[in-house]
Structure 1
């Protein structure tokens, strides 16, 4: 096995175990702080279209943020997982228009816009488990967002790439593979950290 891949798996295990210890109150409190901090980001404050996601379980919460963006008049795109693990997109039209999907996910019940709809986003909120000091993101390993990031790069699109995390998920080093991408900013309850570049690793 690739040592970077095995390192990723070990780090994922540690981070998911730490998330499992969070209470519902911990998650709710962090979600409120993250929503306030994220909506203040210029990358989101100036965005007309934001590609985001619906948090599940003990992920850093996005639902307060989704509602705040929608109230502001931002067009919010949410992912719809396809059979091949790629992502289609649909507009967020309110929490009451989200339906249960596979793997415990919730998705919009509206029209599917196609995988290339993400190219219209001014900012993309990426789910993740960690980010390091360079801006290298660790995902869950499913590969769905690797495809999204590759699609953006292939099209020459450069939306702001932002990850929401808990404070202890900003780590010293994330193991990386050639397809991995850097992000532009990470938002945690303790504050926001920006990185010099959000370009692909060369």
Structure 2
């Protein structure tokens, strides 16, 4: 059951719709150019510089691009975990071994996702991560993240909390997606930092 009242629930949906509309106007060149800046910014983070294992994701469509960042982490010798979506919207994990290690998977009528082609390690593999890179649509000054509403990363964060794991939680966004306030539900957990093409913002 949602912990939001009707007005806040409506506000969350409206904010999500507005942000997706802005992303929908981005060109492929916009996404490509900001991806390089985003990777450079993220690689400056001490949490990533010191990480042996990073749980990340492959961006799709007009999401802030992650491919350059994945390749840079892999080149550093970091063990990069990537998600594979399960039927119940939970996430399994596999290893990123370069672009040839990805396979395109279509889940029902939704957008096809690039997922690790090799052995899947189970949902609990994320517990080994020193840092977790999260997709999102917005973050506010408290570090509250607005996701797409599928709940996959809520499960990941709950799994980390149950296991008392404490990786760095970092959301990757565009500059305009740092907002005044994100409506939250009781199960929502704040992130520690947000990386945009022009800045790193910390919340802890």
Which residue number corresponds to residue 4 of structure 1? 8
Count of residue pairs the alignment pairs up: 196
The correspondence of residues 26-45 of structure 1 with structure 2, limited to 5 A, is: 26-45=30-49
Normalized against structure 2, the TM-score is what?
0.94
Which residue number corresponds to residue 65 of structure 1? 69
Which residue number corresponds to residue 82 of structure 1? 86
Q: Does 1:114 align with 2:119?
A: no
Which residue number corresponds to residue 199 of structure 2? 191
RMSD: 0.9
The one-character-per-residue Cα deviations of 1:54-79 (angstroms, maximum 9, x if unpaired) are 00000000000000000000000000
Which residue number corresponds to residue 135 of structure 1? 143
Q: SS of the counterpart of 1:6?
A: helix
Give the conservation status (yes or no) of the 8 Å contact 1:4–1:177.
Answer: no
Q: SS of the counterpart of 1:181?
A: coil
Give the C-alpha shift of residue 137 in structure 1: 0.2
Which residue number corresponds to residue 50 of structure 1? 54
CA distance in 2, matches of 1:179, 1:104: 28
Give the C-alpha shift of residue 8 in structure 1: 1.2
Q: Could you tell me which of 137, 142, 146 is aligned with 2:154?
A: 146
Give the C-alpha shift of residue 14 in structure 1: 0.1
CA distance in 1, matches of 2:156, 2:165: 11
CA distance in 2, matches of 1:101, 1:171: 32
Q: Could you tell me which of 151, 156, 171 is aligned with 1:163?
A: 171
Give the C-alpha shift of residue 86 in structure 1: 0.4
CA distance in 1, matches of 2:8, 2:164: 27
Q: SS of the counterpart of 1:193?
A: strand
CA distance in 1, matches of 2:53, 2:75: 13
